[in-house]
Amino acid sequence: MPSLSRRSLIALATAAGLGLAGCAGSPAATPAATPAGSAGATTASGQVLQIGIAQIVDHPSLNDLRDGFKEGMAAAGYVEGTDVVYEDRNAAGDQATLTSIASAFGSKDLVVAIATPTAQAMVQALPDTPIFFAGVTDPVGADLVASLEAPGGNVTGTSDFPPVADQLKLIKEILPEARTIGLLYSSAETNSHIHADMVKEAAPALGLEVKEATVSNSSEVAQAAESLTDVDAFFIGTDNTFVSAMESVVQVAEANKIPLVVSDPDSVVRGALAAYAVDYRAHGVQTGTMAAQMLKSGGKAGDIPVERAKDLELSVNPGAAERMGVTLPADVLARADHTVD
């Protein structure tokens, strides 16, 4: 189980100027290629850009990253159906399918890898294809790049490094008497281990004890949540497995009156209490802008520094708060960027 290295934390903080991944049931795979746009479209050089986009599962935040990437490319002049053809693939949480997708993307002009497991599979299989990752918590700790400032090789992208201290402070602000938090994450995701280690490191300073439960797949999510019903609050970080089965955790949280705070804004729409997290649509746009700049300059992906997500947002769900037995403080409601009706 990889843990967050001090080197990775320092590198991420430096890159940020020392300042910051759900649908119910099983996600649907898209094993067949899904090209978007016209096969006859050409760029100024007479070539159609062929870009493959891969993601580990289908859930709203990862979809926002995908759509945001295309938006960023379009804003830079790469019009879908005129200048670029996209092939979107979803592995439905299966590592073997990721490997198959990587093999299919070998002839692409550029590959977009969404979330840490996807990026690891693409980087391992495609040493010569430019790869831009997005939604990766710790690119150094995940062995994707040599450093944030000089990634090297054929890889760069954007990191959704989480604002852990502020996320835990949000729990204490909503529930000042909280003493224990139930940390739920997947043992199969490097990004989840990293976020979990950060939570366990930051919690004691806020007077919080961390109890944890891990899963290896989405079918275990409800059982994991039910094993921690003696805690004051649940917390889920940048974990694709739990986000893809968020409704299962919401049911446990409501039944046991345990507030659920997450790192995924779309999960608040689906019933979580609150999230202080990356704006994943903007994160995707940021990644698309980076890729467009490389394509225009003719540079190499590995020469472009990794960027940290620039936009954070606070999302709250007052209805969920009531169902979980708490009232959102007026200050939290006042500064929320998004309030679920």
Which parts of the chain sit beneath pLDDT 70? Answer: 1-46
112 and 231 within one domain? no
Q: What's the confidence (pLDDT) of residue 47?
A: 83
180 and 326 within one domain? yes
Q: What's the confidence (pLDDT) of residue 20?
A: 30
Q: What are phi and psi of 251, to 5 degrees?
A: -60, -45
Q: What's the confidence (pLDDT) of residue 28?
A: 37
The verdict on residue 12 lying in a domain is yes
* Nearest of 274, 8, 321, 318 to residue 136 by alpha carbon: 8
Instruction: Name the 3-class secondary structure at 55.
Output: strand
The verdict on residue 196 lying in a domain is yes
In angstroms, the CA 130 to CA 61 distance is 23
The verdict on residue 323 lying in a domain is yes
Show the domain range for 186.
Answer: 164-277+313-339
The verdict on residue 62 lying in a domain is yes
Place of tokens 């070998």: 106
Q: What's the confidence (pLDDT) of residue 333?
A: 97
The verdict on residue 57 lying in a domain is yes
102 and 82 within one domain? yes
285 and 256 within one domain? no
Number of domains in the chain: 2
Q: What's the confidence (pLDDT) of residue 191?
A: 84
189 and 300 within one domain? no
Q: What element of type H or E holds 155?
A: strand 155-159
The verdict on residue 77 lying in a domain is yes
147 and 15 within one domain? yes
Strand order in the sheet with 35-36: 35-36, 84-90, 49-55, 110-114, 131-136, 155-159, 307-308
Q: For the beta carbon of residue 227, count every other beta carbon within 10 angstroms.
A: 15
The verdict on residue 195 lying in a domain is yes
CATH code assigned at 197: 3.40.50.2300
178 and 141 within one domain? no
91 and 45 within one domain? yes
Q: What's the confidence (pLDDT) of residue 318?
A: 98
Q: What's the confidence (pLDDT) of residue 313?
A: 93
The verdict on residue 1 lying in a domain is no
Q: What's the confidence (pLDDT) of residue 240?
A: 87
Q: Mean pLDDT across the chain, nearest whole number?
A: 87
Strand order in the sheet with 312-316: 209-215, 180-186, 233-236, 260-262, 274-278, 312-316, 338-339
The DSSP line for 193-226 is HHHHHHHHHHGGGGT-EEEEEEESSGGGHHHHHH
Q: What's the confidence (pLDDT) of residue 45?
A: 53
172 and 318 within one domain? yes
CA distances from 209 to 173, 197, 206, 289, 328 (A): 16, 13, 9, 41, 22
Chain centroid offset of residue 57 CA: 11
330 and 212 within one domain? yes
104 and 219 within one domain? no
234 and 111 within one domain? no
Q: What's the confidence (pLDDT) of residue 43?
A: 45
